[in-house]
Structure 1
Amino acid sequence: MSLEFGKQLQARTTTIPGLLLFDLPVHGDARGWFKENWQREKMTALGLDDFGPVQNNISFNDAAGTTRGIHAEPWDKWVSVATGRIFGAWVDLREGPTFGAVFTAEIDPGTAIFVPRGVGNSYQTLVPDTAYTYLVNDHWSPTADYAFLNLADETAAIEWPIPLADVEISEKDKAHPRLSDVAPVAPKKILVLGANGQLGRALRAHFPASSHVEYATRDDIDLTDANLSQARRWRDYGVIVNAAAFTAVDLAETPSGRADAWASNATAPAALARIATENGITLVHVSSDYVFDGSHAGAYSETEPVRPLGVYGQTKAAGDAVVSTVPRHYIVRTSWVIGDGKNFVRTMASLAERGISPRVVGDQIGRLTFTDQLAAAIAHLIESRAEYGIYNVTGAGEPRSWADIAREVYRLTGHDPAAVTDVSTDEYFAGAAGPVAPRPLNSVLDLTKIRAAGFDPVDADVSLASYLAD
Structure 2
Amino acid sequence: MPHVTETPIPGLLLLELPVHGDNRGWFKENWQREKMIAAGLPDFGPVQHNISFNGAIGTTRGIHAEPWDKLVSVATGRIFGAWVDLRAGATFGTVFTAELDAARAIYIPRGVGNAYQTLEPDTAYSYLVNEHWSSSASYTFLNLADESIAVDWPIPLQDAELSDKDRSHPRLTAVAPLAPRRTLVLGAAGQLGTALRETIPTAEFATRDHIDLSDSGCFDHIHWPDYDVVINAAAYTAVDAAETAQGRAAAWAINVTATAALARIATEHRLTLIHISSDYVFDGTTAPHPETEPASPLNVYGQTKAAADAIVSTVPRHYIVRTSWIIGEGANFVRTMASLAERGSSPSVVNDQVGRLTFASDLAAGIRHLIATRAAFGTYNVTNAGQPQSWAAIAQRIFELTGHDAARVTGVESAEYFATAQGAPRPLNSVLDLTKIEATGFRARDADVALREYLGRGGVRD
TM-score, with structure 2 as normaliser = 0.95
Q: Is the 8 A contact 1:273 1:323 kept in 2?
A: yes
Question: d(CA) in 2 for partners of 1:45 and 1:330?
Answer: 23
Q: What are the within-5 Å matches in structure 2 for residues 62-73 of structure 1?
A: 62-73=55-66
Question: d(CA) in 1 for partners of 2:216 and 2:383?
Answer: 35
1:458 aligns with 2:455: no
1:130 aligns with 2:120: no
Counterpart among 187, 210, 214 of residue 220 in structure 1: 210
Residue 274 of structure 1 aligns to a residue whose secondary structure is helix
1:25 aligns with 2:18: yes
Question: d(CA) in 2 for partners of 1:165 and 1:456?
Answer: 60
Tell me the residue number matched to 2:80. Answer: 87
Name which of structure 1's ranges 376-385 and 54-63 shifts more when overlaid on structure 2. 376-385
Question: d(CA) in 2 for partners of 1:439 and 1:46?
Answer: 48
1:262 aligns with 2:255: no
Question: Residues 352-380 of structure 1: CA distance to partner in whole angstroms, max 9, x if unpaired?
Answer: 22333322221111111111111122222
Tell me the residue number matched to 2:158. Answer: 165
Q: Is the 8 A contact 1:79 1:113 kept in 2?
A: yes
Question: d(CA) in 2 for partners of 1:17 and 1:305?
Answer: 40
Question: Residues 81-133 of structure 1: CA distance to partner in whole angstroms, max 9, x if unpaired?
Answer: 11222221111111111111111222121111111111111111222222111
Residue 295 of structure 1 aligns to a residue whose secondary structure is coil
Question: d(CA) in 1 for partners of 2:290 and 2:265?
Answer: 29
Question: d(CA) in 1 for partners of 2:105 and 2:442?
Answer: 36
Question: Residues 395-433 of structure 1: CA distance to partner in whole angstroms, max 9, x if unpaired?
Answer: 11221111222222222222333333222111222212x
Shift of residue 187 of structure 1?
1.2
Name which of structure 1's ranges 137-146 and 123-132 shifts more when overlaid on structure 2. 123-132
Question: Residues 13-41 of structure 1: CA distance to partner in whole angstroms, max 9, x if unpaired?
Answer: 11111111122111122222111111111
Residue 81 of structure 2 aligns to a residue whose secondary structure is strand
Question: d(CA) in 1 for partners of 2:441 and 2:209?
Answer: 36
Residue 317 of structure 1 aligns to a residue whose secondary structure is helix
For structure 1, the 5+ residue unaligned runs are 1-7
Tell me the residue number matched to 1:442. Answer: 429
Matched to 2:453, the amino acid is: S
Q: Is the 8 A contact 1:247 1:312 kept in 2?
A: yes
Q: What are the within-5 Å matches in structure 2 for residues 29-68 of structure 1?
A: 29-68=22-61
Q: Is the 8 A contact 1:82 1:131 kept in 2?
A: yes
Q: Is the 8 A contact 2:214 2:250 kept in 1?
A: no
Matched to 1:394, the amino acid is: T
1:428 aligns with 2:417: yes
Matched to 1:73, the amino acid is: E
Matched to 1:155, the amino acid is: S
Residue 272 of structure 1 aligns to a residue whose secondary structure is helix
Tell me the residue number matched to 2:460. Answer: none
1:102 aligns with 2:77: no
Tell me the residue number matched to 1:4. Answer: none
Shift of residue 224 of structure 1?
4.9
Q: What are the within-5 Å matches in structure 2 for residues 357-368 of structure 1?
A: 357-368=346-357
Residue 123 of structure 1 aligns to a residue whose secondary structure is strand
Question: Residues 263-302 of structure 1: CA distance to partner in whole angstroms, max 9, x if unpaired?
Answer: 1111110111122222222211111000000011x31111
Shift of residue 64 of structure 1?
2.2
Question: Which structure 1 residue ranges, 4+ long, deviate > 4 Å from structure 2?
Answer: 224-229
Residue 230 of structure 1 aligns to a residue whose secondary structure is coil
Shift of residue 214 of structure 1?
2.3
Residue 27 of structure 2 aligns to a residue whose secondary structure is strand
For structure 2, the 5+ residue unaligned runs are 458-462
Q: Is the 8 A contact 2:357 2:384 kept in 1?
A: yes
Question: Residues 39-98 of structure 1: CA distance to partner in whole angstroms, max 9, x if unpaired?
Answer: 111222233322111111111122222211110011111111112222211111111111
Counterpart among 377, 380, 392 of residue 391 in structure 1: 380
Counterpart among 256, 260, 266 of residue 276 in structure 1: 266
Question: d(CA) in 2 for partners of 1:28 and 1:181?
Answer: 47
Q: Is the 8 A contact 1:223 1:271 kept in 2?
A: no
Q: Is the 8 A contact 1:224 1:271 kept in 2?
A: no
Name which of structure 1's ranges 279-288 and 411-420 shifts more when overlaid on structure 2. 411-420
Matched to 2:443, the amino acid is: D
Counterpart among 330, 340, 349 of residue 329 in structure 2: 340
Q: Is the 8 A contact 2:211 2:219 kept in 1?
A: no
Q: Is the 8 A contact 1:200 1:243 kept in 2?
A: yes
Q: Is the 8 A contact 2:79 2:116 kept in 1?
A: yes
Change in CA separation of 1:421 and 1:301 when aligned onto 2, cut-off 3 Å: same
Matched to 2:99, the amino acid is: E
Matched to 2:437, the amino acid is: I
How many pairs were matched up? 457
